[in-house]
Structure 1
Amino acid sequence: MKNSDITRKSVLAYGMGGFGRQSLYIIQNTFLLYYFVSVAGLNSAAVGIMMMLAKVWDAINDPIMGSLVDNTHSKYGKVRPYILYGAVPLAISFFAMFAIPQGLGQTGKMIWATVFYVATGMLFTLVEVPSQTLLVRLTDDSGERMRLARAKSVIGTFGVILPPVVIPLIMEKLDDQWLAYALSVGVFAVLIAVTYLAAFAGTKERVELSDSTHIGLFAGLKALFANKYYRKYTISYFVYGAASAAMNGVMMFYFVARYQNATLTTVLALIMMVGMFGASIFGKNISDKFGKAKTCIGGLCLSIAGLLLRVVTGDATMFIMIFGIFCYSVGVALYMACLWPMIGDAIDYGELKSGIRPESMAFAGVTLISKIGEGVSAALLGSALGLIGYVQDADVQTAGAVLGLQHLSSTVPLLFVVIMLVILLTNDMDKKHAEYEKALLAKRGVTA
C-alpha cells in the first residue's frame, strides 16, 4: 500500500531542517559579499570571480554526492547518516567563512575566504541533498509531501527572517564590525547544527522500495536529463537562484548607499516574514484547490508585479519599495512551497519511464543548479559594482551608483522571474499526475 501516514513529530522534525537551510542561505546571500568587500576589504571583482569558479567544483561534487547517497545503505537509512555526521562540520565551516582573522594580509584573507567558501558549499551539499531527499523517503504520497514541504517552508521562514533582523542590530551596537559578524553568525551556526540534528533525530525513513540495485552516476544522470519535468523544474530553480542572489546580494549596498542605514534590512526582513509566512501556511491549501503548477505560476506573476512596480517607479517612496518586495516574497514563497513536492513527482515520473530512481542525484542536481545560478549572479554583481561606479569605503555614493544599485535589486531579478514564468507555463504535471501515479504503482505491484 501507499506509505502516507506521517506523524506530527516527523512533520515537525523534517520542517526543522528548513531553518538550517534558509538561515544559511539568507546569511550567505545577503551578508557575505558585503562582509568580504566592506568588512574584510577584499576586491569585489576578485570575490565575484572566486565565487563563480567555486561553482565549477560544485558541478563535479554535487552529482557525485547524489550518487553516493543513492547507493548508501546503513542502519540509519539511506540519507539520514549524512545529516547526522555533516551538520556540525557545516556549522563550523560556515562560521569560519565570516571570521577571517584580521591580522592576515590581502592574500591570506583571500585564501581563507576561498577555502571556507568552497568547504561550506561542499558540506552544505553533504547535508542538504540528503535533507531534501528525505522528503521522498518519508512518504510516497504527493499530498503528504506538500504537508511536509509546508512545515519546512513555515519553519524555514524564521531562518529567512531572523538573520536580517539580528545581524544588523548587532552591527549597530558594536563598533567592531569584525566582532559583530563573528558573534552573530556564530549564533546562527549553532542553530543550523541543532536544527539539522533535530531533523535527523525526529524522522525515520519509511518508504520501502526495491532500491538495493546500484545506480551508476552516468545512468542516473542520463535518466534525469531524459526526464522532461525534472528539466523544467531544475532550470527554473537555476534562474531563481540567480534572481535571489541578485536581490539579496545587493540590498545591503543599496540601503547603505541610498538611505545610509544598514538596519533597514531588519524592516525588510519583517515585511518579507509576513508575506512568506502567510504563503507558506496557505500554499498547500491553494495548491490543493488549483494544483501545484497553477500555484507556482500565480506566485511568479505576483512576484513579477511587485518587481515591475519597483522598476517603473524607481522606488519613488520607501512604501513602494517595501510593497514591491512584499509581493515578490509572497510570490516566490508560493513557488518554493510547490517546488520540492513537484521534484518528488518528477522522480516518480522518472522511475516510471526509466525503471530507476536516482532520488538523491535528483535533489543534488537541484541544489547544484541553484548554486550555479547564485555563483553566476554573484560574479556579475561583483563586476557590476565597479561598472555602476560604486566606491568601496566612500561615505556617499554618486547618484549613478545609487541608481545602478536600484536596478540591480529590481530590474535584474525581474528579468529572471519572467524567464522562470515562461519555463513553467507548459508544466502539465497536475493534469497527468494521477495517471502516472497509477501506472507507477502498478509497475511496482502495489495496490493504491
Structure 2
Amino acid sequence: MRGAEKKYLKWHQKVAYGAGDLASNTSYGLVSSFVLLYLSDTMGLNTGIIGTLMLLSKVLDGISDVIFGNLIDRTKSKLGKARPWMLYAQIGVSLCLIFLFSIPGGLSTTAQYVYFFAFYTTLNAVFYTANGIAYAALSALITRNKNERVQLGSIRFMFAVVTNIVMGFSVTMGVQAFGGGASGWRVVAIICAVIGLVVNTISCLCVKELPEEESTIQEAKSQDDKISFVQSLKLLVSNKYYVLIVGIYIVYYFMSNLTTGSAIYFMENIMGDGALLGMFSMMKMFPVIIALIFTPILVKKTRSMQKVNFWGYFISDILGIFLIYFSIQKNLSMMLLFMFLKGVFAGTLTGTLNALIAEISGYTFRTKGARIDGMMFSCSSLGVKVGGGIGTAAVGWLLEAGGYVGTAAVQTDGAISMIFNMYITLPVILGVVITVLLAFMKVEKENQKIDMKRERE
C-alpha cells in the first residue's frame, strides 16, 4: 500500500492544474449562462427552436465523447496521452466561442439558426469535448495518490466557482460597457476566448504525465493500445459504477444548467432586478469553495467519498424545502441564506467527481485487467454536455411553453410561474435524485475488498 502514500505533485502544479477550470469556464460558463439570452433578447430568435437545435447538437456531442476518449487512450507523444489534446483543442474552443457570439445580423432568420447550430455543435462536440476529456483524464495520469486526486478536484472546482461568480457579476456589465447589443457580446466573447487560451496553455504545460508503467495498481502495465474501440465500450457499460457516475453527471449538470440558464430571467422577471444575478451567483457558488476546502479533510477522516457526498446532499435536500418556502415569500435575505447553506453541504460532490472516476477506472482495471482512462473519463464530458445541453435546451423549451416573449415589456403569469419553477423548484427535486444515486456509489469499498483479497492471496 506504499504506492497510495507516495506524493507526486507540488503545490504549484496542483494550482496550475486547477486553473484549467478557469479556462474551461470562460467558454462553457459564457455559453451555458448567456447564449440563450444573447439569442433571444439580442438576436430575437425563438427560444423553443433554439432549445430543439441544442438537443439535436447534443446527439452528435454524446457520440463524440467516447470517440475522443478512445483516441486519447491511443495517443503517444512527447507530451503524453492527454496533454496534446488539452493544449491544441483549446484553440478551436476559443475561435468557435468568438464566432458563436458573432452571428451576422444581415443573415436571414433561418440562416442565423443554421449558423448558430454549426458553431455551437463544433464548439461542443469537437473542441470542447477533446479539451474537456483530456483535462479530466489528466488527473489520473499525473498522480496515483488518492488524496492528491481529491485535492486536484477541489482546487479545479474552486477555480470553476470563482470564475462563474466573476462572470455572473461582469458579463452583462461588460456587454453594456462595450456598447451593448451584438457588438458588446462579441467583445466579451473575444476577451473570454483569449483568457481561456492563455490560462489553458499554462495549466497544460505546468504538469507532466507519469511514465506509462506507473499504473493505478503497481502490478501490471497499461494495455490501452491493445484494446479495440468495441472492447472498450463493452468494458464501460459492464462497469455498473460507470453507468452510475454517468447518471450522476447528467442529472447534476442538467440541474446546474437549468438554474444557470434561467437565473437571469428569474432576476429580471421575478426579483425585478437583473443586477441581483451576481449576488445570487456568489451565494450559490461561494459556499462551494468553503465545502471544497474541507472536502479532502472529510474524505481522509471518513475514508469514504461516498459517505461525505451522500450525507451532504441529504442535508442539502432538506434545506431545499426551506428555500422553496422563502422564495415564494420573496424574502431575499432568507433566500440567500438557505442558498448558501445548501451550497456548503452539496459542494463536496464537485471536489470528488474526478477522484470517483479514477476509482471507477481502477475498478475496471482490478476486475477486467484493462486500463481505459481516456474513455472512462469521457463520462465527465458526456455528462457535462448531455446533461448540461439538455438543461440549457430545457430552459428554451420551458420558456416557450410558459409563453415567454423576449421582446415583451411584461411577461404573462404562466411565464413567471415557469421561470420560478425552473430556478427554484426543479433543482430541489433533481437534488433528491442525485442523493438516491449517491447511495449506490460504493466503488471505494469494492476496490478495498478486491485489494485486501489479493493481499491475502
TM norm structure 1? 0.93
CA distance in 2, matches of 1:283, 1:396: 44
Q: Residue type of the partner of 1:224? A: L
CA distance in 2, matches of 1:398, 1:115: 33
* Mapped contact 2:18–2:156 kept (Cα < 8 A): yes
Aligned to 1:155: 159
Q: String of CA shifts for 1:416-447, please: whole Å, max 9, x gaps.
A: 1111111111222343443345668999xxxx
CA distance in 2, matches of 1:321, 1:168: 23
One of 293, 296, 309 as aligned partner of 1:281: 293
- Secondary structure, in 3 states, of the residue corresponding to 1:27? helix
CA distance in 1, matches of 2:274, 2:443: 43
Once the two structures are TM-superposed, the CA of residue 318 in structure 1 deviates from its matched residue by: 1.6
Matches within 5 A, 1:84-95: 84-95=87-98
Q: Indicate how the Cα distance of structure 1 residues 246 and 28 shifts in structure 2: closer, same or farther if over 3 A, else same.
A: same
CA distance in 2, matches of 1:67, 1:416: 31
One of 40, 50, 54 as aligned partner of 1:51: 54
Q: Is 1:66 the equivalent of 2:80?
A: no
* Mapped contact 1:168–1:265 kept (Cα < 8 A): no
- Secondary structure, in 3 states, of the residue corresponding to 2:107? coil
Q: Indicate how the Cα distance of structure 1 residues 222 and 394 shifts in structure 2: closer, same or farther if over 3 A, else same.
A: same
Aligned to 1:145: 149
Gaps of 5+ in 2: 214-220
* Mapped contact 1:306–1:323 kept (Cα < 8 A): no
* Mapped contact 1:311–1:407 kept (Cα < 8 A): no
- Secondary structure, in 3 states, of the residue corresponding to 1:102? coil
* Mapped contact 1:129–1:363 kept (Cα < 8 A): yes
Aligned to 2:173: 169
One of 350, 358, 381 as aligned partner of 1:344: 358
CA distance in 1, matches of 2:408, 2:325: 28
Q: Indicate how the Cα distance of structure 1 residues 441 and 5 shifts in structure 2: closer, same or farther if over 3 A, else same.
A: farther
CA distance in 2, matches of 1:327, 1:26: 23
One of 295, 300, 303 as aligned partner of 2:316: 303
- Secondary structure, in 3 states, of the residue corresponding to 1:259? coil
| Seq. identity, % | 24
CA distance in 2, matches of 1:358, 1:371: 21
CA distance in 2, matches of 1:397, 1:321: 23
Aligned to 2:109: 106
Q: Is 1:117 the equivalent of 2:120?
A: yes
Q: String of CA shifts for 1:331-370, please: whole Å, max 9, x gaps.
A: 4421111111011011001111111111111111331133
Q: Is 1:265 the equivalent of 2:277?
A: yes
Which 10-residue stretch deviates more, 386-395 or 78-87?
A: 386-395
CA distance in 2, matches of 1:26, 1:439: 45
Aligned to 1:249: 261
Aligned to 1:34: 37
Q: String of CA shifts for 1:86-105, please: whole Å, max 9, x gaps.
A: 11221111122122122222
Q: Indicate how the Cα distance of structure 1 residues 111 and 247 shifts in structure 2: closer, same or farther if over 3 A, else same.
A: same
Q: Indicate how the Cα distance of structure 1 residues 220 and 12 shifts in structure 2: closer, same or farther if over 3 A, else same.
A: same
Q: String of CA shifts for 1:168-212, please: whole Å, max 9, x gaps.
A: 222444552222222222212211111211121101001533235
CA distance in 2, matches of 1:441, 1:130: 33
* Mapped contact 1:71–1:215 kept (Cα < 8 A): no
Q: Is 1:387 the equivalent of 2:390?
A: no
Which 10-residue stretch deviates more, 48-57 or 36-45?
A: 36-45
* Mapped contact 2:313–2:345 kept (Cα < 8 A): yes
Q: Indicate how the Cα distance of structure 1 residues 220 and 149 shifts in structure 2: closer, same or farther if over 3 A, else same.
A: same
Q: Is 1:206 the equivalent of 2:218?
A: no
CA distance in 1, matches of 2:315, 2:262: 22
Q: Indicate how the Cα distance of structure 1 residues 272 and 80 shifts in structure 2: closer, same or farther if over 3 A, else same.
A: same
CA distance in 1, matches of 2:258, 2:441: 26
Q: Residue type of the partner of 2:159? A: I
Once the two structures are TM-superposed, the CA of residue 40 in structure 1 deviates from its matched residue by: 1.4
* Mapped contact 2:155–2:351 kept (Cα < 8 A): no
- Secondary structure, in 3 states, of the residue corresponding to 2:347? helix
* Mapped contact 2:246–2:382 kept (Cα < 8 A): no
Gaps of 5+ in 1: 444-448
Q: Residue type of the partner of 1:334? A: T
Which 10-residue stretch deviates more, 238-247 or 391-400?
A: 391-400
Aligned to 1:179: 183
Q: Indicate how the Cα distance of structure 1 residues 20 and 343 shifts in structure 2: closer, same or farther if over 3 A, else same.
A: same
Which 10-residue stretch deviates more, 140-149 or 325-334?
A: 325-334
Matches within 5 A, 1:223-238: 223-238=235-250
* Mapped contact 2:8–2:142 kept (Cα < 8 A): no
* Mapped contact 2:66–2:378 kept (Cα < 8 A): yes
Q: Residue type of the partner of 1:370? A: V
Q: String of CA shifts for 1:47-66, please: whole Å, max 9, x gaps.
A: 00000010110122111111
CA distance in 2, matches of 1:204, 1:196: 14
Aligned to 1:194: 198
Which 10-residue stretch deviates more, 208-217 or 357-366?
A: 208-217
Q: Residue type of the partner of 1:12? A: V
Once the two structures are TM-superposed, the CA of residue 329 in structure 1 deviates from its matched residue by: 2.9
CA distance in 2, matches of 1:11, 1:440: 32
* Mapped contact 1:70–1:215 kept (Cα < 8 A): no
Q: Indicate how the Cα distance of structure 1 residues 267 and 13 shifts in structure 2: closer, same or farther if over 3 A, else same.
A: same
CA distance in 1, matches of 2:417, 2:128: 35
CA distance in 1, matches of 2:62, 2:159: 29
* Mapped contact 1:389–1:400 kept (Cα < 8 A): yes
Q: Is 1:129 the equivalent of 2:141?
A: no
Which 10-residue stretch deviates more, 291-300 or 315-324?
A: 315-324
CA distance in 2, matches of 1:22, 1:386: 27
Q: Residue type of the partner of 1:211? A: S
CA distance in 2, matches of 1:232, 1:15: 25
Once the two structures are TM-superposed, the CA of residue 221 in structure 1 deviates from its matched residue by: 1.4
Q: Residue type of the partner of 1:135? A: S
Once the two structures are TM-superposed, the CA of residue 72 in structure 1 deviates from its matched residue by: 0.7
One of 425, 438, 441 as aligned partner of 1:411: 425
CA distance in 2, matches of 1:414, 1:144: 31
